[in-house]
Structure 1
C-alpha cells in the first residue's frame, strides 16, 4: 500500500530544529571534540610574531625632457604598486637582506641543513619569502610590509627584517633612479656637443651672408628701416589720438547753444578777449538791474546801458562763432596730418616688405636660425646642470613612514579566534553529522511519522521511563497518558467502552506489555471490569507486574486442564483480574489456533467489560496474527526511535492480511524533551497535578484528523 502525500508533508523549519534538538548530544559532543582539539592544537603551536613597516612609494618620471614637459607619473597607474610588490619580494632584494643580516648562517644554526651543514641560499630565500606579506593601504600609495617569524627570537627578528627590507628596497629604487639620471645626463652631454656644432655653423652662415649683402654689424639698412617704421608708427598713433580729441571737442561745441556754449567756452579755450567780453556783459547787466529800480524805462542812462548790453551780446556771439570755426579748423588740420602720416607709413611698409623679400630675406632666415639654435643650446646647458644636481642629490622615491617595532605579543596563534573558529566548525560538523544520522535513522520518531508511513491514527503518546502503575500508585502523574489512550481507544473502536483487544508490537522490547497493563490498570480504576490475559506464551511477563505466579493460566485453560474461572486470579486492584500464561508446554505451536481459544474469548466477553490480550511480537510469530483475527481491535505499540519503520509497517500489513482491525497506534517510550512532546507532556502533567481526580474521559479522541486538538 502506497502512502499518500499530505499537503503538510513538506519540511518546515521546525522539522530541522527537531532534528538538531533530538540529536543535541551528538552535536554537543562533536562541538566539544573539535573545540578541545583546536584548543590543544593552538596551545601546542609555537608563538608567531608579526612586525610591520609602512613605506610611501612614488612613481618616477618616465623620462628626462629637455624642455621640462615630462610626464611626472601623477596619473593613476593600476599596475605600478603591484609591480612594486613583486620587486620588494624579488630575488635581488631578498638576497641582499640575507647577506646584510647574515640569515644563512643564523637560520642554518636554527633549522639545520642537510647533515648539519649550511642551508642553501635559495632555501633561505624561500623561507624568507614565505615570511613576508606585502599589501596596499586602500586608495593610497602607502605599502605595508609584514614579516612573520616564530620562536622566542621572532619578535626582534621580524622587526629587524621588516626595517632592513624597507631600507634595501629604498636603496634599490635610488640606485635605479641614479642609473637612469646618469644615462640621461650622458645623452644630454652628447646632444649638447652636437648642438654647439650647429650653433657654430649657424654663426658662420650668418657672417657669410652679412658680408655678401653688405650688412654692417648694426644692420644700417634693415635695422634703420625698422627703427624708422617704429617711430612713424608712434607718430601716426599720436596724430590719430590728437585728431580724435579735436573731433570730440568740435562735436561737443556744435551741440551747445546760447548760455551753455558761453559757460563751456571758458573750459574749452583760454581766450582773454572772450573772457573780457563776458565780464563786461555781466557788469553791464548788474548796473542795468540797479538803475532799473530807480529810473524809468525811457531814461537816457537806461537806454544807453541797454544799447551797450546789446552790443556786448553781439560781439560775444561773434566771438563764440569764431571759437567754433577755430575748433573745427584745428580738427581738420589734425585729420589731414593723420592721413598724411598713415599714407607715408603704408608706403614705407610696402617698400620694406619688397626689400625684405628680395635682398634681406636670406639674412633674416639665417639670423632667426641662429637665435633658435642658441636658445636650444642654452636650454640644454641648463638641463644638464639640473640633472647633474639630481644625480648628486636625487629625490627619494621611497620614504619610510612608520618603521617596524618589535611586537610585545605574538600575533599567532590567536587562541580566542581559533576557539571561535572551532566552535563554528564544530557546530557545522555536528549539525551535519546529526542530519546524516537522522537520514540513516528510519525509525518512528513523531506522530507525523506514524500517520505518514503507517497511515494509522495515534491513540496515545507514552513518555519514557514509566514503570508499572501498580508500583507507582493510582496518583501517578503518568496515569493521565493512559487515560487519554483509553478514551481515544473507545472512540476509535466504536465499542461503547467494551470489547476484546490485543496489544502487540512489530518487534521485541517495544513496551507492549507495560502499555497493556497500565491501560488495564487505568480502566479498572475508572470502574471497568477488566481481564488481562498474558497470551505471549513464549515470553510471559504480566505476572511480574502483579507479583503472582505463572503456574496455571491460559495454556492450562486451552488444554482443558482447568476452567477459565479457576485460572483467573483477582488482583489487589479493584475490578482488575489476571489470567497468567500458565505453564509453557514443550510444543506451544498451534495452541492458540484452536476453537477453545474462541470459546474462551466469548466466555470472557460475557464476564468482563474489557479483555486485554498481551500478544506476542507480530513480525516473526504466527500466534500474534491468529490472536489478532479473533479480537474486536488491535492496539499496535511502536517504540520511539527503536526499530526501522518498515518493521511496524510490516506488522500492520500482516494484521490486515488476517482481517484484524487495527484501531490505532500507541507511540511508546518517547523522550519528552525531544520532537515537540515537551509541551504536551507538561501540559497534561500540570493540568492534573493537583489532588483532584482527572475526568473520566478526555473530551476528544486523537484521530488523524483531530490530533492537534488533543496533543
Structure 2
C-alpha cells in the first residue's frame, strides 16, 4: 500500500454527520438515559426559596455639611468602596449579629439543641448572595432557604444589621475623636491659665502699664512679627495634625486582632488585603459545604482549614503593617511639630534680642500666652464643628426594598435542568458515538475499500438481498448485480469471461449469495454459465436451487463420477450447476491443484462464465488452491463486519498467490442508516423495467440464506 493511500484524508463536515447518523441509536439511548436521570434527580432535590432585599450604600458623609457645603451629600460611585462593603456585609460581626437576633443557632439545631455559632455562620454565609447593580450604589442581598419565611427574615435582618452597625461604628469613631479633643482642650486650658498668670506676674514686677505692642519701635519689628505669626499658625496646624494622628494610633493600638480584621475595610483600600479577605470568605463557604458533607475529620476539610488559618496569619501581618504605618504617621507629625516649635523659639529669641532688656521677659511671657490661647481657640472651634457635624443626620445605608416571602422556588429549576440534561446527553452521546466509531476499524465505505485494499469497488449490495431466483429478475436488487457484471466486463484487472472465484476474508460476508446472483444475471444476459459450489465444508448453493448434493465436485476430483454426470441443469435458462458433493471423512487430497487445473481447463471449453463459490480465504487453504487456477477473483467485503486488518490480510494472500483480482463487492450495506449510500438506494428503488419477460421459475421457498 502506498504511503499516500495510507494517510487519512481530511474529514468533511458531512463525515461527522454520517457518524452521528449511523450511530444514532447510541446517541438517542445516552440522551434518553441522561435526561431521565437528570429529571428524576431534579424531583428529588429540596425546593429552595429566595428572598431579596435591596440597599443603597453610601460613603460616610453627612447629608448636610454646614462647614463644607460643596461636599454635602457627596456620594460618588466608588467601585473599591462597594467591593469592600461586599466583604463587610458577609463578615463575622455582621452575620453573628444576624444569628443572634434571629436565634438561628436554635432554629437550625436538632432536637432542641443549639449548633455552634461558627457552623451557623458558615451555613448562613453559604445561603447568602451579595451582588451589585451595575454602575450604581445599590446592593442586592439574597437569602436562599427551604423555608420562604426564613429566607425573607434573613434578607431583611441582614440589611437592618448592616445599617445599624455602619451607623454605630461611625458614631463611636466620632465620639472617640471628640473625647480625645476634649481631653486636649482641658490640658490646653491649664497651659493658657499658667501663661496668663506668668504675664500678670511680670507686668506687676516690671511695673508695666503699656502693652508691649504699643511701644515705640513697633514698626521696626513688623516684618519679624509677621514671620512670627506665620510660624505660629503653622505650629498650631502641625499640633492639631499630631493630635489627630496620635488619637488614630492609640485607637488602633487598643484594638484586638479580631476587631482589627473587622475594621480593616475602613482602614485601607489595599487590593492585596481585599484579595485575602475575599479568599478567606471563599474558604469559609467551601468549609461549610464540606463540613455538611464529610465532617470535620475529612482530610480535605483539614487541608482547607489549614490554608484558611495560614491566610488569616498573612492578613494579620498585613494589618500589623498598617498599624505600624499609623504609628509612623504619628511620629512624623510629632517631628514636624517639634521642628516648627524649635524654629519658632529661634525667631522669638531673635525678636526678644531687639527689645529693650526691661521688656524681654514680659514679651516672652506675653507671646507664650498668645500662642497657648490661639491653640485653645483652634481646639474649641474644632470641637464645636465636630459636635455640630455629629448631630447632622447620616444615612450611609438606605433600605430601598424589603424582602418578601416567595411563592415560587428558585431551585431546582426543572426546565433548566432538563435543558442541561439534554445538552449533556447530546454531548455524551455524540462523544460516545465518535469513540465507538474510532474503535470500529471495519470497512464502511467504498472509499475505505480503495484506501486500504487498493481495489476498485464494482458493486454495492444493500441488506436483505435474497437469491434472485426468489426475487425475480425485475427486483430492485437485480440491477445492482447487473451493474456488478457490467463493471467486471469493463475492468482492466481481468477478462470479462472465464473462471471467476467469489471469496471473502471471513465467514458470513455473503459470498455465496453474491456468487449465485452473479451467475444468475450472467445467465439472464445470454451467457452460458456454470455455478460451482466449491465450499466443501459449508455448501449452500444446492439449497438455493433445491437440488441434491449427493454427487458433485468432490466426486469429480476423486474421479468417482465423470463431471458431465454431476452437472445439473436449472430452471434458469443458460445456468448450470455443479454441487459440492459430500465431503469424505478425510478431505486430504480432495482439492489437488493438478486436478483442479484440469477441471477448470475442461470447463472453460464448454462455458462462457464459470463462477466458483469458495470458502473464506483466511484460515482455510481450499480457497488458495482454487484461486490459483482462476482467471479472476472477486472479493466480497461485508459492510461494518470485520476489522479491516482481516480484509487486508486476505488481499495480501491473493497478492502472494499472484491471482488476478477483479475488484470488490461491498455487501450487506445498511442504506437507511448511512447517508453515504442514500442516492444509490433512491435510484434503484424507483428504477422500473418495462419489458416483457417469462415468469420466474418456481423453486423451494426454503432455499435462501447467505454463507
**TM score, norm. by length of structure 2:** 0.71
| Deviation, structure 1 residue 509 | 0.4
8 A contact 2:466–2:513 mirrored in 1: yes
Once the two structures are overlaid, the 10-residue window that deviates more, 172-181 or 675-684, is 675-684
2: CA distance, partners of 1:587 / 1:493: 40
- Distance across 2 between alignment mates of 1:429 and 1:494: 46
Deviations 1:188-235 (A, max 9, x none): 212222343455466567768988696658987789999xxxxxxxxx
- 3-state SS of the aligned residue for 2:459? strand
Give the whole-Å Cα distance in 2 for the aligned partners of 1:528 and 1:363: 150
Give the secondary structure class of the aligned counterpart of 2:182. Answer: helix
Counterpart check, 1:11 vs 2:11: yes
Q: Is the 8 A contact 1:497 1:609 kept in 2?
A: no
Partners of 1:192 and 1:377 within 8 A in 2: yes
Aligned to 1:46: 46
Counterparts of 1:447 and 1:411 in 2: how far apart (Å)?
A: 55
* Partner Cα distance (1:458, 1:210) in 2: 132
Asked if 2 retains the 8 angstrom alpha-carbon contact of 1:593 and 1:623, the reply is no
Determine the C-alpha separation between the residues in 2 that align with 1:57 and 1:483: 86
Aligned to 2:135, which of 127, 132, 139?
Answer: 139
Cα distance, 1:433 vs structure 2: 1.2
Matched with 1:165 is 158
Question: In structure 2, how many angstroms separate the alpha carbons of the residues matched to 1:205 and 1:74?
Answer: 51
Greater Rg over alpha carbons, structure: 1
Q: Distance in 2 between matches of 1:368 and 1:70?
A: 37
Aligned partners of 1:461 and 1:481 also within 8 Å? yes
List aligned pairs for 1:668-679, cutoff 5 A: 668-679=667-678
Taking structure 1 as reference, are residues 649 and 224 closer, same or farther at Cα in structure 2, changes over 3 Å only? closer
Secondary structure (helix, strand or coil) at the match of 2:108 reads helix
Question: How far apart are 1:495 and its partner, in Å?
Answer: 5.2
1:30 Cα deviation from its structure 2 partner: 1.0
Question: Matched residues in 2 for 1:119 and 1:92: separation?
Answer: 18
Shift in CA distance, 201/71, structure 1 to aligned 2, threshold 3 Å: farther
Check the 8 A contact 1:67/1:379 in 2, yes or no.
Answer: no
Which piece of structure 1 moves more, 376-385 or 563-572? 376-385
Q: Any conservation in 2 of the 1:529–1:576 contact (CA below 8 Å)?
A: yes
The Cα of 1:76 is off from its aligned counterpart by: 7.4
Moved more, 36-45 or 82-91: 82-91
Cα distance in 2 between the residues matched to 1:606 and 1:613: 16
- With over 3 angstroms needed to count, the CA separation of the structure-2 counterparts of 1:528 and 1:664, relative to structure 1, is same
> Aligned pair in 2 of structure 1 residues 8, 412: CA closer, same or farther (>3 Å)?
same
For 2:493 and 2:5, how far apart are their aligned partners in 1?
Answer: 28
* Cα distance between partner residues in 2 of 1:32 and 1:74: 56
| Distance in structure 2 (CA, Å) of the matches to 1:80 and 1:510 | 77
Map residues 213-612 of structure 1 onto 2, 5 A cutoff: 377-389=376-388, 391=390, 395-492=394-491, 497-612=496-611
Q: What is the aligned partner in structure 1 of residue 124 from structure 2? A: 128
Distance in 2 separating the partners of 1:196 and 1:684? 114
The answer as to whether partners of 2:593 and 2:626 remain within 8 angstroms in 1 is: no
Aligned position for 2:189: 196
Distance of 1:166 and 1:621 partners within structure 2 = 87
Match of 1:346 in 2: none
For residue 115 of structure 2, what is the aligned residue in structure 1?
A: 119
Provide closer, same or farther for how the CA distance between residues 560 and 70 of structure 1 changes in structure 2, counting only shifts above 3 A.
same
How far apart are residue 500 of structure 1 and its match? 0.7
> Is the partner of 1:134 in helix, strand or coil?
strand
Structure 2 residue matching 1:119: 3-state secondary structure: coil
Counterpart residue number, 1:101: 102
Task: Judge conservation of contact 1:206–1:366 (CA < 8 Å) in 2.
Answer: yes
Contact 2:51–2:151 (Cα < 8 Å) also in 1: yes
Instruction: Structure 1 unaligned segments of length 5 or more: list them.
Output: 227-353, 695-711
After the TM superposition, which of the residue ranges 521-530 and 674-683 deviates more from structure 2?
674-683
Shift of 1:621: 0.6
Residues 66 and 379, structure 1, Cα contact 8 Å, conserved in 2: no
1:24 alignment partner in structure 2: 24
The 1:366–1:586 alpha-carbon spacing in structure 2 relative to 1, beyond 3 Å, is same
Contact 2:494–2:662, Cα closer than 8 Å, also in 1: no
CA contact 1:458–1:667 (8 Å) conserved in 2? yes
Distance 1:678 1:98, change over 3 A: same
Match of 1:305 in 2: none
Q: Aligned partners of 1:162 and 1:644: how far apart in 2?
A: 65
Distance 1:369 1:12, change over 3 A: farther
1:400 Cα deviation from its structure 2 partner: 1.4
Answer yes or no: is the 8 Å Cα contact 1:3–1:453 preserved in 2.
no
Whether the 8 Å contact between 2:632 and 2:660 is mirrored in structure 1 is yes
Tell whether the 8 Å contact from 2:636 to 2:665 is kept in structure 1 after alignment.
Answer: yes
Deviations 1:40-63 (A, max 9, x none): 11111111111122222223369x
Is 1:174 matched with 2:167?
yes
1:170, distance to aligned residue in structure 2 (A): 1.4
Change (3 A) 1:494 1:137: closer
RMSD between superposed Cα atoms in Å: 3.7
Residue-by-residue CA offset, 1:537-577 (whole Å, 9 max, x unaligned): 10011122222232222222222333323222222222222
Please state how far the C-alpha of 1:468 moved relative to its aligned partner: 1.7
CA distance in 1, matches of 2:78, 2:525: 93
* Distance change in 2, residues 1:388/1:583 (3 Å): same
Offset at residue 476 of structure 1 (A):
0.9
Say how many residue pairs are matched.
557
Q: Equivalent residue of 1:566, what SS?
A: helix
Instruction: Give CA deviations for 1:608-640 in whole Å, capped at 9, x if unaligned.
Output: 211110010101110010010010111111111
Per-residue CA deviation, residues 219-252 of structure 1 (Å, 9 max, x unaligned), is 87789999xxxxxxxxxxxxxxxxxxxxxxxxxx
C-alpha distance in structure 2 between counterparts of 1:452 and 1:578, whole Å? 36
Residue 92 (structure 1) aligned with residue 93 (structure 2)? yes
Q: Distance in 2 between matches of 1:145 and 1:74?
A: 21
- SS of the aligned residue for 2:51 comes to strand
C-alpha distance 162-6 of structure 1, shift in aligned 2 (>3 A) = same
Contact 2:48–2:144 (Cα < 8 Å) also in 1? yes
1:403 and 1:682 mapped to 2: Cα distance? 69
